[in-house]
């Protein structure tokens, strides 16, 4: 059965935008979590497994090349490790800690070649953190104008992409929370289900 043979409505999984939110205390959060603020002024975050499916091979190259950035690396797998002087690995953390670490970062990055929805990026965006990623997952449903407000769409993950995201941050050209909240909040998901039920069942 092909989807185009039926009248289908796509309903994304809703994210709790009351949990994933902007905390407005980035510097103190970095100190709280013992991030080396005396050595680094730029912080990036990667959330995902250390596998080819998540573009980890590309991430390693970026971490080793961009030694001016401190990298917060989060995985749900206890056996995954990575060592470098400019990164730290967090494993199997709870959502409250995830929210704080997202708020410690300047940007989220995910080089994976494909995603379904990409919850990790949406959670980062709800925390006001812009994304650098391919045109995959939820990115494919955004207009170019919306993508420009959420972050950077790229296939190459070059220095220029990272420099561009910092330029956008410094010039306040981004508004990722409001864009993703419009499409991917729990309330949005509930309202879509209610609409379908009203039209087709009640």
Summarised one tens digit per residue, pLDDT across range 42-88 is 999 999 999 999 999 999 999 999 999 999 999 999 999 999 999 99
- pLDDT above 60: residue 5: no
The reported pLDDT for the residue numbered 2 is: 44
Higher pLDDT, 165 or 24: 165
How large a percentage of the chain has pLDDT more than 70? 94
The distance between the two most distant Cα atoms of the chain, rounded to a whole number of Å, is: 61
Strand partners, 153: 133
> How do residues 132-182 score in pLDDT, each as one tens digit?
999 999 999 999 999 999 999 999 999 999 999 999 999 999 999 999 999
Contact yes or no for 151/165 (Cβ under 8 A): yes
Q: Is the pLDDT of residue 8 over 80?
A: no
10 within 8 A of 181, measured Cβ to Cβ: no
What's residue 9's pLDDT? 64
Report whether pLDDT(19) > 50: yes
Whole-number average pLDDT of the chain: 92
pTM of the complete model? 0.90
- d(Cα 101, Cα 17) in Å, to the nearest integer? 16
Quick one: fold of 25-183? Rossmann fold (3.40.50)
CB 108: neighbour CB atoms within 10 A? 27
- Give the pLDDT score at 1: 38
């Amino acid at each position: 059965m092909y989807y185009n043979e039926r009248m289908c409505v796509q309903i994304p999984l809703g994210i709790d935008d009351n949990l994933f939110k902007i905390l407005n205390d980035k510097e103190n959060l970095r100190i709280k979590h013992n991030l080396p603020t005396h050595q680094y002024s730029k912080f990036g975050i990667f959330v995902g497994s250390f596998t080819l499916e998540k573009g980890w091979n590309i991430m390693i190259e970026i971490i080793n090349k961009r030694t001016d950035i401190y990298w917060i690396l989060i995985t749900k797998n206890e056996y995954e490790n990575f060592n470098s002087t400019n990164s730290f690995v967090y494993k199997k953390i709870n959502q409250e800690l995830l929210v704080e670490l997202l708020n410690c970062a300047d940007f989220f990055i995910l080089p994976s070649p494909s995603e379904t929805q990409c919850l990790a990026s949406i959670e980062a965006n709800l925390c006001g953190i812009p994304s650098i990623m391919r045109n995959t997952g939820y990115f494919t449903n955004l207009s170019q104008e919306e993508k420009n407000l959420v972050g950077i769409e790229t296939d190459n993950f070059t220095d220029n992409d990272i420099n561009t995201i910092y330029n956008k941050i410094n010039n306040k050209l981004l508004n990722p929370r409001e864009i993703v909240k419009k499409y991917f909040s729990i309330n949005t998901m509930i309202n879509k289900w209610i609409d379908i039920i009203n039209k087709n069942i009640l």
